[in-house]
Amino acid sequence: MKSKSKRIVVSTVLLLFLLGGFAFYFEGSLPVDKNDTQNRIFVIPPGQGLNAIARDLEKDGFIRNKIVFILVVKQLGIEKNIQAGDYRLQRSLSATDLAKSLTKGSLDAWFTVIEGLRNEEVADQVTKDLGIPSADFLAEAQQGYLFPDTYLIPKDATSETVLSIMRNNFDAKFTPEMKAKALKNGLTANEVVILASLIEKEALFDEDRQEIANIMLRRLKEGHKLQIDATVQYALGYQPAEKRWWKKSLTLEDLKFNSPYNTYLISGLPPTPISNPGKASLDAVVNASADTPYLFYIHDSKGRTHYARNLAEHQRNIDKYLQ
C-alpha cells in the first residue's frame, strides 16, 4: 500500500513538473504585446552567438524569456541560419515568428574596411559586399578620407550614400582639436592625412607608429627626402603578375620610377594620400615630434623596425638585417 502511494506521489510530482515546464515554455513563447505592431530596429553584430542574441532580444523587450527563445530556435533547427544585420521587429511577434524572421536577411549589410587600403581596394570590396559598381565608387572617392571601420550599410545604398557615410565617420574621428594641434606643428589637415597614409603602410606594428611619424616629421623639417617604399608601390599601381596593388619587392629600377609620388625622387610629401589611414596613424602624426634622435629606419624580414641616428648606423642596420 505504501509503495502504491509512493508511486502516486512521484507520478503527481512528475506531472506537475511537466505541466509547469509546458506553462513556462508556452508563456515564454507568447508575444510580449500582441497589440504592439510598431516596427523597431534590432541589430545583430557579426559573429554574435545565439545566447547573446537572446539576451539582447529580452533586454530590448522583443521576447518574454531568453531561455525559451533559445529552446525555440533549437527546436526549429535554425540557429545556423540566423544572419547578422539589422531587422525591423515587432513586439507582437511570438518567439517562433520572431526567430524565423531573423533568418530572412537583414535590411542592411555589414561592410568592413581595414586600415591602409587604397581606394581601388576599397572599391573592390564595395562591389563584393554591397554590389555597387567599383567605377561608380571610384569616380567620387577621395583617397585618404574613407575611414577604416565596420559599417552597417543599407542594401539599397548608392555609391554616394556609402561615400557620405564613410566621410562623415572620418570627419567625426579627425576632430577639430586634432587639426588645431597639428597646425601648431606646422601641418595642415590634408598634410596630416597624407603622412598618416604613409605611416599606415610603413608601421607594421602599432608600437612603431609614433617613432616613424617622428622620423618623417624630422626629415621633412630638415629638408631630407622621405624615401618611403610605399610611395613607389603606390605609383607603380596594380601588379598583374602578383594580382595585388602593392608590389611585394621593389628593385633599384623601381626606385627610379618617374612619378610625383616617388619620395626617393621628390622632396616633401606626395600630392595626395596613398592609402586610407585609421585613427592610430592620424594620432601618431598629430602627436609627432621632430626632436627624435633618429633619422632613418628599416624593416627586417620579420617586419621589425630598426632605427638609426645617422647614415653610418643606418648602413650597419642594412648590413645586419637585410643582407
Q: Which residue has the higher pLDDT, 152 or 107?
A: 152
Quick one: how far is CA 107 from the chain centroid? 20
Domain-terminating residue out of 101, 131, 147: 101
Q: Do 95 and 12 fall within a single domain?
A: yes
pLDDT cut 70: percent of the chain above it: 92
Mean pLDDT of the chain: 88
Give DSSP secondary structure letters for 106-118: -SEEEEE--TT--
Pick the closest to residue 137 from 129, 211, 250 (CA basis).
Answer: 129
Task: Please name the helix (run of DSSP H) or strand (run of DSSP E) that holds residue 313, with its range, or none.
Answer: helix 311-321
Q: What's this model's pTM, rounded to 2 decimal places? A: 0.74
**84 and 136: one domain?**
no
Would residue 186 count as lying in a domain? yes
pLDDT value at residue 92: 87
How far does the chain reach from its first CA to its final CA, in angstroms? 95
CA 221 to chain centre: 33
15 within domain boundaries = yes
Q: What is the pLDDT of residues 264-287, one digit of tens each?
A: 999 999 999 999 999 999 999 999
One domain for residues 130 and 220: no
Is the domain of 186 the same as that of 240?
yes
pLDDT band at 25 (very low <50, low <70, confident <90, very high): low
Spatial separation of the C-alpha atoms in residues 34 and 48, rounded to whole Å: 28
Q: Distance between CA 214 and CA 231 in Å, rounded?
A: 18
List residues bridging with 306 in a β-sheet: 298
Same-domain check for residues 212 and 278: yes
Are residues 283 and 182 both part of a single domain? yes
Could you tell me if 128 and 45 lie in one domain?
no
Decide if pLDDT at 4 tops 60.
Answer: no
CB atoms within 10 A of CB 180: 11
Residue 79 · residue 50 · CB < 8 Å: yes
Evaluate whether residue 231 is within a structural domain: yes
Q: At what angle do helices 176-184 and 279-286 cross, to 10 degrees?
A: 40
Rg (CA), the chain: 29
Regarding whether 84 and 12 lie in a shared domain, the answer is yes
Q: How many other C-beta atoms are found inside a 10 Å radius of the C-beta of residue 56?
A: 17
Residue 13 has pLDDT above 80, yes or no: no
Alpha carbon distance 145, 124 (integer Å): 17
- Whether residue 315 is contained in a domain is answered as no
Higher pLDDT among residues 7 and 16, named by residue: 7
Residue 298 inside a domain? The answer is: no
Query: What residue numbers bound the domain in which 29 lies?
Result: 2-101
Total structural domains within the chain:
3
88 beta partners: 41
**Are 68 and 11 contained in the same domain?**
yes
- Please tell me the predicted confidence (pLDDT) of residue 218: 95
Query: Measuring CA to CA, which residue among 124, 72, 139, 136 is closest to residue 101?
Result: 72
Instruction: Please report which residue ranges of 34-175 form alpha helices under DSSP H.
Output: 50-59, 66-76, 95-101, 119-130, 134-140, 159-173
Q: Among the listed ranges 21-30, 156-165, 228-237, 313-322, which one has the minimum average pLDDT value?
A: 21-30
Query: Is 183 found in the same domain as 138?
Result: no
Q: Which three cell numbers stand for residue 263?
A: 619620395
Instruction: Check whether residue 74 and residue 121 sit in a common domain.
Output: no
- The mean-pLDDT minimum among 22-31, 207-216, 303-312 falls in 22-31
> End of a domain among 140, 172, 204?
172
Return the closest-CA partner of residue 110 out of 40, 174, 47: 47
Residue 92: inside a domain, yes or no? yes
Question: Is the pLDDT at 219 greater than 80, yes or no?
Answer: yes
- Any idea what the CATH number is for the domain that residue 29 is in? 3.30.1490.480
Looking at 203-270, list the stretches that DSSP marks H as alpha helix, in order from N- to C-terminal side: 209-221, 229-236
Could you tell me if residue 234 is inside a domain? yes
Same domain assignment for residues 141 and 214: no
Domain boundary at 172, 206, 226, which? Answer: 172
Q: Which of 109, 98, 127, 131 has the alpha carbon at shortest distance from 46?
A: 109
Query: Which of 26-35, 181-190, 197-206, 313-322 is the least confident region?
Result: 26-35
- 148's CB contacts (< 8 A; 6+ apart) are 113, 114, 115, 116, 117, 276, 277, 278
250 in a structural domain: yes
Question: Is 77 a residue whose pLDDT tops 50?
Answer: yes
Look at residues 296, 322, 290 and name the one whose alpha carbon lies nearest to residue 309.
296
